[in-house]
Structure formats: structure tokens, C-alpha cells
């Protein structure tokens, strides 16, 4: 009898995990749309009083298997590059032309967390449970509690709310390794009534400066980069981007 109960519990757990995975894949589709992408991103940081603080532009090559290449395009950072291969990170500063191994903590230094810009997918990095149904601005939504399945991600825990009908991401609470609430995110869509794509992610800092960061996805297009581009030593080269 005990064996049967254990098997039923395992089956229920597996079905539950499968349901969460399907929900996350559906939510990811609003942010990515393809496995290998080139995304032009504009990041605007606003002070607490709403005045503009700074603006940055990035070209992100988000590739399958947790591989991302971020090219800094703003005048203040022109030539800087960050490569993320799973849990491993490298930085290139333009003056030295010397790719430099960096720690996950170093990845968080600077204006915007590179993870916020380069990470486009939850389904590959998180697993968790459906906490239950909730209300998101009068709209019925599902509350998911997610934990990272690998250590290289910027946020170890995410509380995520998805639209109940379409499973589009509505908002998220992002927790760092120490389980402190680091940022609160909300998502802006192209067509609020019938959303197809996230056009902007708005992050409100809860840890230090309480500034608002708007990550605007200017364009997305499918792009699989050559394997050589994802070699850390290749950061010193300047290939044609299209």
C-alpha cells in the first residue's frame, strides 16, 4: 500500500513539474520567440523622482544552451563585451583587447545587471510550483514560485505571476542568492488586449537605490552566431554582425 501511495505521489509531482515547465515555456514565448536570437536592447534608468539617470544600448546574441554574447553600444561603454556560457563569464574592455575571466558577482557590477539583459528564458533555468490563483490588477493570474536549477543565474528565486488565460508574464519578484528581494519586474506588451510580445521589462530596485530600470526590446530577430563567436578569446575580434 505504501509503495502504491509513494508511486502516486511521484506521478503527481512529475505531472506538476511538467505543468510548470509548460507554463514557463509559454511565458518565454512572449520574451523570445526563437531559440537563437539577436536582440537590440535599450536600457533607461530613472531616479526615484522619475528624472532620467542614464541610458545604455546593448546588442544581445541570446543562444541556445545558456550562451549569450552582449555587446555594449553606448558611447560610455562602446567596445565592451560580455560572454556568458552557462555559469562561466568573460569580459572584454576595449582598450586592452584582453578577454578577462570574471566571477558571477563581477557580472553584476556596472550599470545594469548583464543577466537582466541577456537572460531571456525561464524554462531552462528554473523549476518550481504553482502556488495558486491570484488577482493582478483585477486580471486573474497564476502565481508560480520558482527556484534556479543552476547557479550561474542572477536570481536564485523568482515569484512569478502569469496571466491565467494566455500565460503571459505580468510581474515578478526577483530574489538574489541571500534570498533578499533585489528587484520587482513588470512586463509591458505590444498589444495589451491581446499580447503577443513583451516590448519592455520594468525593474524596480528593492535592494539599494530604488531606481527604476526600463529594459526596452527595440528589435528581435532569429540569429544563430558562428560557434567561434562564443569562444572567450574571440571577444577581441570584431566580426561583421550581419
Partner 1 sequence: MRLLALMLASLSSGAALAGDSASGELRVRWDAREANTASLAPATPSSASLEAELRGTWHAPVKALSASANVLLGAEHPEGGATRSLTRANELYGSADFGSWQMSAGKKIVGWDVGCGFRPNDFVQQEERRTLLTVTPEGRPLLQLEHFGAEDAASLLWVNPQRTQDDDDAQRGARESALAARWYRRSGALDGYLFGRWGQHTHASLGAAVAWVAGDELELHASARVLQRHDGWAMRSGPLLTSANPWQQAALGGTGQWLLGASWTGQRQQSLLVEFWHDGTTLSDDDWDGWHTRNAALAALVGPPPRAIAGNLAWQATPFLSSSLRRDNLFVRAAWQPEHWLLSLDALVTPADRGHAITAAVQWQGDRLKLNAALRVYGGPADALMSRLPQRRVGVIAATWAF
Closest contact distance (angstroms) between CB of 29 and partner 1 is 28
Name the residue nearer to partner 1 (CB basis): 3 or 178.
178
Give the residues across from 204 on adjacent strands.
Answer: 184, 212
- The CA-atom distances, in angstroms, between 149 and each of 36, 86, 128, 175, 238 are 21, 12, 9, 14, 34
Take residue 36 and report the three cell numbers written for it.
537563437
3-state secondary structure of 123: coil
Q: Is 69 in the site for partner 1 (CB under 8 A)?
A: no
Decide if 218 contacts 41 (C-beta within 8 A): yes
Q: Is 145 in the site for partner 1 (CB under 8 A)?
A: no
The binder of partner 1 chosen from 177, 197, 199, 206 (CB under 8 A): 177
Query: Looking up cell 520574451, which residue turns up?
Result: 31
Name the residue nearer to partner 1 (CB basis): 30 or 89.
89
Type and span of the H or E element at 3: helix 2-31
The binder of partner 1 chosen from 2, 3, 4, 96 (CB under 8 A): 96
Stretch that binds partner 1, among 2-10, 91-99, 112-120, 217-225 (CB under 8 A): 91-99
For partner 1, the binding residues (CB under 8 A) are 54-55, 74-76, 78-79, 87-89, 94-98, 100-106, 108-110, 151, 176-178, 208-209, 226-228, 230-234, 236-242
Amino acid at each position: 500500500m505504501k509503495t502504491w501511495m509513494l508511486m502516486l505521489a511521484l506521478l503527481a509531482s512529475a505531472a506538476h513539474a511538467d505543468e510548470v515547465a509548460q507554463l514557463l515555456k509559454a511565458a518565454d514565448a512572449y520574451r523570445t520567440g526563437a531559440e537563437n536570437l539577436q536582440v537590440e536592447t535599450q536600457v533607461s534608468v530613472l531616479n526615484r523622482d522619475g528624472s532620467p539617470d542614464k541610458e545604455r544600448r546593448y546588442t544581445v546574441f541570446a543562444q541556445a544552451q545558456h550562451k549569450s554574447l552582449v555587446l555594449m553600444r553606448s558611447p560610455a561603454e562602446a567596445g565592451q563585451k560580455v560572454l556568458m556560457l552557462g555559469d562561466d563569464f568573460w569580459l572584454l574592455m576595449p582598450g586592452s583587447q584582453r578577454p578577462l575571466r570574471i566571477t558571477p558577482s563581477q557580472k553584476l557590477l556596472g550599470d545594469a545587471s548583464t543577466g537582466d539583459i541577456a537572460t531571456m528564458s525561464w524554462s531552462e533555468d528554473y523549476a518550481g510550483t504553482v502556488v495558486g490563483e491570484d488577482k493582478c490588477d483585477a486580471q486573474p493570474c497564476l502565481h508560480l514560485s520558482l527556484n534556479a536549477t543552476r547557479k550561474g543565474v542572477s536570481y536564485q528565486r523568482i515569484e512569478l505571476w502569469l496571466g491565467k488565460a494566455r500565460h503571459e508574464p505580468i510581474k515578478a519578484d526577483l530574489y538574489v542568492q541571500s534570498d533578499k528581494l533585489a528587484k520587482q519586474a513588470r512586463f509591458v506588451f505590444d498589444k495589451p488586449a491581446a499580447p503577443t510580445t513583451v516590448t519592455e521589462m520594468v525593474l524596480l530596485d528593492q535592494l539599494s537605490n530604488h531606481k527604476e530600470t526600463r529594459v526596452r526590446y527595440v528589435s528581435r530577430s532569429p540569429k544563430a552566431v558562428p560557434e567561434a563567436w562564443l569562444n572567450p578569446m574571440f571577444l577581441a575580434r570584431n566580426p561583421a554582425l550581419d
